[in-house]
């Protein structure tokens, strides 16, 4: 979710019912060096409820220093990413590479825990590939080192996002894990969230790609779990009003010009499935000011 889960998007998701939002994944090595650009990725908005910081790395000493530098910024939890399959991260021996070395996962968590009382969690995939499903060993090592929570995306590194997330492995992890287990993978509707909770017994769900252009999924899931299902489609007016709120928040964070450029990918997601939404998508790729976005949206709604 790098490039998406900035403070503006997290604030929008929080406003629609997300209980906890994570920052973009940031480098422990860069944090340890005090890199200003990396630290800026951890800035929060008042509208956010609870925010988790997620780091990636492979050196326990850097992880410890990173935690030392960021613990005072008010994270609700600090997460170690052991699942990212992006080539650039893998080449740095980070992310899903850690799945090949459960002992290193434990060492990383122990180093992080040595610097803070803030809960530390790990996010795992099943393993490097089908021949090495190491998630249970990685979870065990993390727990022995003091991890307070484990999240599992039940695909291997080799799968990427192909195929189907195998939720039965979440159930297996939950049955042997004494701390809360969060499930992730293929959550694109409120019904998916409820089904994962019911079929795996996990303690919560982490929505990732399913929230892009659809922060409404959080309130829909909460409503469904409380017995007040909201199955109706989100009207175009509400969808676009939320997109504009997102744009204005982003402009407060990074300035109007950059916000207008960065929001183009979000507008693609917000308008996916809307009748005539291609007109909006074709127009916003040229929009450079907020008032141009306003004109595009108002014209679409009039038509």
Catalytic residues: 84
Say how far apart CA 193 and CA 206 lie, in whole Å. Answer: 9
CB 96 within 8 Å of CB 116: no
Residue 257 buriedness (CB in 10 A; 0-12 / 13-18 / 19+): exposed
Say how far apart CA 277 and CA 135 lie, in whole Å. Answer: 41
Nearest to 122, CA basis, from 3, 206, 19, 39: 206
Angle at 295 between CA 289 and CA 298, to 5 degrees: 140
Beta bridge partners of 53: 78
The sign of the CA dihedral 39, 40, 41, 42 is positive
């Amino acid at each position: 979710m790098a490039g998406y889960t900035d403070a503006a998007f997290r604030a929008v998701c929080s406003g629609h019912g997300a209980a906890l939002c994570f920052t973009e994944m940031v480098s422990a090595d860069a944090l340890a060096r005090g890199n200003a650009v990396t630290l800026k990725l951890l800035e929060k908005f008042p509208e956010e409820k609870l925010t988790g910081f997620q780091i990636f790395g492979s050196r326990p000493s850097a992880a410890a220093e990173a935690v030392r530098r960021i613990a005072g910024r008010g994270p609700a939890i600090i997460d170690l990413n052991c699942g990212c399959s992006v080539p650039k991260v893998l080449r740095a021996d980070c992310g899903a590479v850690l799945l090949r070395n459960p002992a290193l996962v434990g060492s990383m968590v122990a180093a992080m825990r040595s610097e803070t009382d803030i809960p530390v969690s790990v996010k795992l995939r099943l393993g490097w590939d089908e021949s090495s499903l190491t998630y249970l060993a990685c979870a065990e090592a993390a727990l022995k080192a003091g991890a307070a929570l484990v999240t599992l995306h039940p695909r291997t590194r080799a799968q990427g996002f192909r195929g189907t997330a195998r939720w039965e492995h979440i159930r297996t992890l939950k049955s042997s894990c004494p701390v809360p287990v969060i499930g992730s993978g293929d959550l694109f509707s409120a019904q998916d969230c409820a089904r994962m909770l019911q079929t795996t017994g996990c303690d919560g769900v982490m929505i990732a790609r399913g929230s892009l252009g659809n922060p409404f999924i959080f309130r829909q899931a909460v409503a469904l779990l409380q017995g007040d299902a909201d199955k109706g489609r989100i009207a175009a007016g509400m969808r676009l009003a939320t997109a504009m709120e997102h744009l204005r928040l982003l402009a407060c964070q990074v300035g109007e010009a950059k916000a207008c450029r960065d929001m183009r990918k979000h507008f693609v997601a917000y308008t996916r499935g809307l009748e005539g939404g291609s007109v909006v998508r074709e127009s916003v790729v040229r929009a450079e000011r907020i008032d141009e976005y306003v004109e595009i949206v108002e014209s679409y709604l009039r038509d």
